[in-house]
Chain A
Amino acid sequence: MKRLTRRDFLAAGGVVSVATLAAGCSFGTGQQKAAGSGGSKSATIWDISTGDQQKLIKDTVAHFDSTHKDISVSVQFFQNDPYKNKLRTAMGAGNPPDIFFGWGGGILKSYVDAGKVYPLPPNSVDTKKFFSSVMRPVTFNGKVYGVPMLGTQPVLFYYNKEIFGKYNLKPPKTWSELLSIVKTLSQKGVTPITLAGQNKWPDLMYEEYLVNRVGGPKPFQNVLDKKPKAWSDPAFIKANTMIQQLVSMKAFPSNFASLNYDTGQSTQLLYTGKAAMQLMGAWDYQAILSNAPQFIKSGKLGWFPFPKVEGGKGNPQNVAGNLTNYYSVTQASKAKKAATTFLDKGIMNDFEINGLIKIGLVPPVKGIQSKLKQQKDSDWLLFVYDLAQNAPYYDLSWDQALPAQAAQALLTNLDLLFLKKITPQQFSKNMNKAMGL
């Protein structure tokens, strides 16, 4: 007789309780081939992908399962915010899955510091095929704690070509060109740049780019290294002054503070012609494609990299964004070997890479230009690919690079900065205080 283990029981309980919470998600694609008997050969994944990505992950796992008869992998999907709490609780309670989805950076670091993440043995996974920049957020003290598993998502400007054409504007190469476009558009009564201020993280994109353009990667590296008064660096003051200047010029919609990205409010302004530009991650392309495919098909959507800042120290080719997402193996896993094999052979193989490209995502893998060229939207895919590949420095989104508390303080203070409730000087002071620098 097969006995249910405590683990199975807990896993089942977890699935049931989350199922009741997050209706609309589906769970457990995996066929539990050897549940109970060969525990060390079966691995469970927790993931938060939705839509096309979720389907691709399921297919990728099924493909691996069918080609590796000795290992069984199953995947469960959760919603973003509940997932973060659930993972933290499960890690603390010692019953996490074998493989978990993550963003690298500060949150992963806190799990690594607590001894919850399994360092992948050297050469157990081929990481050389990835852009070296995307391995940085999962490498601590020379050890690798995660493997890229989705597309790379740099942040860039999207613009409405129709509006630009109407007022004879060209995509700006420099910050002052951008400012003059903002000025022209607001005189004509068009909102220059839409901004989902309610989510706060879109504010952060301006901060990341401007600080990087003004002062290079060093000022924020000092913050990560906990140097005293790191937030008082002149680059932060300068960047924040530029942000407030943009706000004063009415570059953003008057109600930007209550615009939400998740409900599509901010992007809608772009494709309905009410706003001319939006600074957003590469994922916005999929959002527009599913909400207003006609806008892309008729060639009205354009894009350009964040302009360079005159006199700035940073390389204008540097980019910021979500490098990619990662799968990591937990220290508590009883199937570390099977899980590691899956990370090496099961993901970012030709099967998944082709699948990602097909749904418009750009895998951070070297030498796939020829594959991208064959696609219908190859101009978009190649633009993103080159932006990410040619970046001398790829800045991981700061709310992911920083530990949770500092990230929250940063987002709230940026909110206040954009609302002009605090000055750039107060911003630096608040952040130094929040991080004890």
Chain B
Amino acid sequence: MSRRLSWSISLMLLPAVAFFVVFALGPMIAAVYISLLDWNGISTPHWVGFGNWAKAFTDSVTLHSIFLTVQVMVLSWIVQTPISLLLGVFLAGRQRYRALLGVFYFLPLLFSAVAIGLIWASSMLSANGALNSFLKAIGASSLTNDWLGNPNIALYAVIAVIAWQFIPFHTLLYQAGTRQIPQVLYEAARIDGAGTLQQFFYITLPQLKYTVVTSTILILTGSLTYFDVIYVMTGGGPGYATRTLPLQMYITAFQDAQIGYGSAIAVILAVVGVLLSLIMIRLTGFGRMESQAEGL
């Protein structure tokens, strides 16, 4: 097959490329340029060179938000991966009751992030919300808490809600991945006398390797950009307790009206996101798209 693009292919690529340039590349370049300015959005911008960049790496609020973002990433992965893996494998079975349960598991996927944030903040995690009422009902009043108002807990509450929101999506990935695994592998294993656990660890898990990679990349890069749920639930507070990097970017650019500094944070976010994906792909061989079905 010829590696050269024929004119007709180029022509058909044109709309997609044009969209990419106008809506992705263009704004990125503009953001890099704006990050070199001191600008409040209305007055004449001043050139400050790398002043905003220097500030991003010394400002204690931004550094703290980077630390929070890393926490969100790591904890999200630790919480979401095992749960969605197990749920996905469970739901891959063809039994009727599993399909029925699946309908409920996937429900959060259909809700808008703002609705999720509002519901959790106002009726689940509030002082008289469902969680505290439940704890009181089972006699564990000492465990009740102001989940989103306590600066030591708010971040974990937010991570839990994000997990609730995204586990269904990753479950779906694992369900599809598990269903792709050829049944012959399990038949052969059963003939050799492998039990359910052994089948899981020696067949299912290795065969799901690339699903794990995909899901991990999505969780890690997703954590970098989680914004809506956090913004709706806490607005980054109390204090700075849940002000992750995307919130810091938004608040800096649009509430503090420091568009240049906000742009610098945005560029950092974009670069880290791209780097993270590249590293993950390189480390796992995902980019080579090796077939797992080979040798069957």
- Among the stretches B81-89, B92-100, B249-257, the one at the interface with A is B249-257
Q: Is A225 part of the contact surface with B, judged by Cβ < 8 Å? A: no
Q: Say whether A421 contacts B239, CB under 8 Å.
A: yes
The answer to whether A412 and B237 touch (CB under 8 A), given A88-B42, A258-B127, A405-B256, is yes
- Which of B44, B127, B238 lies at the interface centre, i.e. has the most chain A CB atoms within 10 A of its CB? B238
- Which of B150, B239, B258 lies at the interface centre, i.e. has the most chain A CB atoms within 10 A of its CB? B239
Give the distance in Å from the alpha carbon of A253 to the alpha carbon of B127 in the complex: 10
Give the distance in Å from the alpha carbon of A403 to the alpha carbon of B150 in the complex: 29
Q: Say whether B122 contacts A197, CB under 8 Å.
A: no
Give the distance in Å from the alpha carbon of A89 to the alpha carbon of B239 in the complex: 28
The interface residues of chain B, by DSSP majority, are classed as loop
Give the distance in Å from the alpha carbon of A113 to the alpha carbon of B40 in the complex: 11
Could you say which of B42, B121, B235, B238 contacts A91, with CB atoms under 8 Å apart?
A: B42
Q: Is A248 part of the contact surface with B, judged by Cβ < 8 Å? A: no
Q: Say whether B42 contacts A111, CB under 8 Å.
A: yes
Give the distance in Å from the alpha carbon of A91 to the alpha carbon of B126 in the complex: 39
Could you say which of B42, B146, B238, B256 contacts A415, with CB atoms under 8 Å apart?
A: B238
Q: Is A54 part of the contact surface with B, judged by Cβ < 8 Å? A: no
Give the distance in Å from the alpha carbon of A294 to the alpha carbon of B41 in the complex: 47
Q: Is B273 part of the contact surface with A, judged by Cβ < 8 Å? A: no
Could you say which of A116, A254, A258, A408 contacts B256, with CB atoms under 8 Å apart?
A: A408
Give the distance in Å from the alpha carbon of A257 to the alpha carbon of B257 in the complex: 25
Closest to B125 in A: A258
Q: Say whether B255 contacts A404, CB under 8 Å.
A: yes
Give the distance in Å from the alpha carbon of A260 to the alpha carbon of B238 in the complex: 12
Closest to B42 in A: A114
Q: Is A265 part of the contact surface with B, judged by Cβ < 8 Å? A: yes
Q: Say whether A110 contacts B42, CB under 8 Å.
A: yes
CB distance from A87 to the nearest CB of B (A): 9
Q: Say whether B238 contacts A257, CB under 8 Å.
A: yes
Q: Is B37 part of the contact surface with A, judged by Cβ < 8 Å? A: no
Q: Is A198 part of the contact surface with B, judged by Cβ < 8 Å? A: yes
CB distance from B124 to the nearest CB of A (A): 12
Considering only residues 86-118 of chain A, those with a C-beta below 8 Å from chain B are: 88-89, 91-92, 110-111, 113-114, 116
What are the residues of chain A within 8 A of B43 when measuring CB–CB?
110, 113-114
Give the distance in Å from the alpha carbon of A206 to the alpha carbon of B125 in the complex: 27
Q: Say whether A421 contacts B256, CB under 8 Å.
A: no
Q: Is A25 part of the contact surface with B, judged by Cβ < 8 Å? A: no
The interface on chain A, measured as residues whose beta carbon lies within 8 A of the other chain's beta carbons, has a size of 33
The answer to whether A257 and B235 touch (CB under 8 A), given A408-B256, A412-B240, is no
The interface on chain B, measured as residues whose beta carbon lies within 8 A of the other chain's beta carbons, has a size of 28
Number of cross-chain contacts by CB at 8 Å: 87
Give the distance in Å from the alpha carbon of A92 to the alpha carbon of B42 in the complex: 4
What are the residues of chain A within 8 A of B257 when measuring CB–CB?
88, 110, 403-405
Could you say which of B146, B151, B239, B255 contacts A254, with CB atoms under 8 Å apart?
A: B146
CB distance from A115 to the nearest CB of B (A): 8
Considering only residues 233-248 of chain B, those with a C-beta below 8 Å from chain A are: 234-235, 237-240
What are the residues of chain B within 8 A of A290 when measuring CB–CB?
none
Q: Say whether A258 contacts B42, CB under 8 Å.
A: no
Q: Is B169 part of the contact surface with A, judged by Cβ < 8 Å? A: no
Give the distance in Å from the alpha carbon of A405 to the alpha carbon of B234 in the complex: 19
What are the residues of chain A within 8 A of B126 when measuring CB–CB?
255, 258, 265
CB distance from B277 to the nearest CB of A (A): 30
Q: Say whether B149 contacts A198, CB under 8 Å.
A: yes
Q: Is B53 part of the contact surface with A, judged by Cβ < 8 Å? A: no
Q: Is B266 part of the contact surface with A, judged by Cβ < 8 Å? A: no
Q: Say whether B146 contacts A257, CB under 8 Å.
A: yes
What are the residues of chain A within 8 A of B127 when measuring CB–CB?
253-255, 258-259
CB distance from A250 to the nearest CB of B (A): 13
Could you say which of B121, B147, B239, B254 contacts A416, with CB atoms under 8 Å apart?
A: B239
Q: Say whether A419 contacts B42, CB under 8 Å.
A: no
Considering only residues 17-50 of chain B, those with a C-beta below 8 Å from chain A are: 40-44
The answer to whether A200 and B237 touch (CB under 8 A), given A111-B42, A255-B127, A258-B149, is yes
Q: Is A298 part of the contact surface with B, judged by Cβ < 8 Å? A: no
Give the distance in Å from the alpha carbon of A136 to the alpha carbon of B156 in the complex: 46
Q: Say whether A116 contacts B42, CB under 8 Å.
A: yes
Considering only residues 149-165 of chain B, those with a C-beta below 8 Å from chain A are: 149-151
Q: Say whether B149 contacts A256, CB under 8 Å.
A: yes
CB distance from A289 to the nearest CB of B (A): 23
Give the distance in Å from the alpha carbon of A256 to the alpha carbon of B146 in the complex: 9
- Per-residue contact bits, chain B 266-277, to A (CB 8 Å; 1 contact, 0 not): 000000000000
Closest to B45 in A: A92
Q: Is B66 part of the contact surface with A, judged by Cβ < 8 Å? A: no
Q: Is B148 part of the contact surface with A, judged by Cβ < 8 Å? A: yes
Q: Is A263 part of the contact surface with B, judged by Cβ < 8 Å? A: yes
The answer to whether A419 and B122 touch (CB under 8 A), given A256-B149, A258-B148, A404-B255, is no
- Per-residue contact bits, chain B 218-237, to A (CB 8 Å; 1 contact, 0 not): 00000000000000001101
Q: Say whether A257 contacts B237, CB under 8 Å.
A: yes
Considering only residues 116-154 of chain A, those with a C-beta below 8 Å from chain B are: 116
Q: Say whether A419 contacts B255, CB under 8 Å.
A: no
Give the distance in Å from the alpha carbon of A266 to the alpha carbon of B261 in the complex: 35
Give the distance in Å from the alpha carbon of A185 to the alpha carbon of B239 in the complex: 28
CB distance from B30 to the nearest CB of A (A): 14
Can you list 10 A-B pairs with a CB-CB distance of less than 8 A?
A92-B42, A114-B40, A197-B149, A254-B127, A257-B150, A257-B151, A405-B256, A405-B258, A415-B238, A416-B239
- A contact residues vs B (CB 8 Å cutoff): 85, 88-89, 91-92, 110-111, 113-114, 116, 197-198, 200, 253-260, 263, 265, 403-405, 408-409, 412, 415-416, 419, 421
- B contact residues vs A (CB 8 Å cutoff): 40-44, 121-122, 125-127, 146-151, 234-235, 237-240, 251, 254-258
Interchain residue pairs A-B with the least CB separation, the first 6: A257-B149, A258-B149, A255-B146, A255-B127, A114-B43, A405-B256
A88-B257, A404-B255, A408-B255 known; 19 new pairs, CB 8 Å cut-off, are A85-B254, A110-B40, A110-B257, A116-B42, A198-B235, A255-B127, A255-B146, A258-B147, A259-B127, A263-B122, A265-B126, A404-B40, A404-B257, A405-B256, A405-B258, A408-B256, A415-B239, A416-B239, A416-B240
